[in-house]
Structure 1
């Protein structure tokens, strides 16, 4: 697989639709911007799907793709990730990277192929995660300016490489990606080096206590949804962010604008024009 050729099909998120969705949020009967980051992630979802029409934005089937480099004998059904995913109406799929550390480009292809299968199975919100704490490679300030291959081979993680493929594939299918922890943020950074448009489909679920994740996430323009002081990005944050995504989408679909309720003389304290002036 030639990655540059593959990435030609990854398109920018629809910014016009994203702005239309934000305009709807701004005109709901509530204080301007009062749903905070919930508004941002729903607008991203609308832009990815190409529609701001509430009736056309379904609650997507969601999955946590738990990447590992060895086959686990059985799915850890009683682990927190499975409990939290179930509570968020999501599934956990175990994915195993079969390539070794010298075959990182092959691992990217494995991530692409596995995610392609998941998306074609009907999943519309993807969270690529892994167990364990990660750290930013030493000499990052120099390394981050290098090409994606040098960064990936310095990192030396076939799991991270597979997650790069997962992110690229999801972006190609205009499917939002829920990042969780430093490993997935590093994968997103590398994916962005390969194809900058892919980052537009990423949502950062949380800031962990992993050294360097906060600075890296903010440097990439991400505004994490949660700060729960979790130790690593093993899917807990993604599962919890799924529930907040649902809450934001439910508000978007079920709340009414002034016009929809037939109220054209806005109450001054809620008036969009008044609030917009006060924020300027």
Structure 2
């Protein structure tokens, strides 16, 4: 069964996003208030525990099964020299993921997460979005569905990441279309292009925005015209996770940019999301502000492939451990609140 069989179905899903369980949140907050520590002394760890409780619907949330989901796709606009690497690297890195040799293999293992890799039509890059829409309706729906399929009801948490040579260009285009501002403000070095490469990225995005400027201001249309298969898959995964009440940890600039087209139509789209980190890509901090997200970590990372999100999951596990395993004042026979 397809979760998003038509563009209209995707729009309907965005208009009917579930909300967190207020009763579970309140119960979790009461527990936090009773733990043997001064109120607020664990800082954001306390808020994380209450946040996860609300989405899992239980006072003492847990992470027994967590998944790092990577989506991979190729982009037609790479013919314009916007990346430091050829598009063939996407498939090579997917093979590295599958062989266990990438950073995310090590980091997801350290975080106690299973890893899933979904490569979407790597032999068929999206169309060059400077000459037409990146994807047809059918291609975009298939990518959304690939993302939705990676989210299963038995998960306690999912982190989403991507691999796709050139996709920081698509991400910047989505942000510029969704939130406005100068294109140059959204563009960065990505995998390491020089100043001339950044200039090419700006020019390519400006051409794409001009071409698609008269298109409907609609989340699906923006995704299919300016996004990529892996980016649309992340959007599908995030929406499906919301339907299932599964909290999401977002990775870097590209992962977060998947939600940019959705945010205007569904301002609460990130309510079940934690921004794992803020990358060094210049537009990421600005994007997080537009999405109303405060990053959990800032470690100077810019790798993508769900790496920053996986590191953040370790912090989230610590938050839940403290929430679950600390004694209350009554249990510890400590008199009065600290």
Q: TM-score, normalised by structure 1?
A: 0.82
Change (3 A) 1:80 1:140: closer
Q: Deviations over 1:51-94 (max 9, x none)?
A: 21x2xx33231111111126544614121110111111112111
Q: CA deviation at 1:246?
A: 0.9
Which of the residues 261, 265, 277 maps onto 1:190?
A: 261
Which of the residues 45, 58, 63 maps onto 1:59?
A: 63
Change (3 A) 1:176 1:22: same
The CA distance in 2 between the partners of 1:106 and 1:205, in whole Å, is: 29
| Other-structure match for 2:136 | 103
Which of the residues 231, 240, 245 maps onto 2:311?
A: 240
| Other-structure match for 2:47 | 40
The CA distance in 1 between the partners of 2:265 and 2:138, in whole Å, is: 12
Change (3 A) 1:139 1:49: closer
C-alpha RMSD of matched pairs (Å): 2.7
Segments ≥4 residues shifted beyond 6 Å: none
| Other-structure match for 1:134 | 168
Change (3 A) 1:110 1:60: farther
Check conservation: 1:205, 1:224, Cα contact below 8 A: yes
Q: TM-score, normalised by structure 2?
A: 0.69
Change (3 A) 1:192 1:32: same
| Other-structure match for 1:274 | none
Check conservation: 1:191, 1:199, Cα contact below 8 A: no
Answering whether residue 187 of structure 2 is matched by residue 155 of structure 1, we say no
Greater shift, 189-198 or 220-229, is seen at 189-198
SS at match of 2:50: helix
Greater shift, 212-221 or 168-177, is seen at 212-221
Q: Deviations over 1:14-68 (max 9, x none)?
A: 234324323322331112222222222221110001121x2xx332311111111
Check conservation: 1:180, 1:238, Cα contact below 8 A: yes
Q: CA deviation at 1:264?
A: 4.0
Give the paired residue count.
263
Q: CA deviation at 1:104?
A: 5.8
SS at match of 1:200: coil
| Paired residues for 1:1-280 under 5 Å | 1=5, 2-7=9-14, 10-52=17-59, 54=60, 57-69=61-73, 72-73=94-95, 75-98=98-121, 100=126, 101-103=134-136, 106-116=139-149, 118-120=151-153, 122-131=154-163, 134=168, 137=172, 140=175, 143-144=178-179, 146-153=217-224, 155-266=226-337, 270=338
SS at match of 2:278: coil
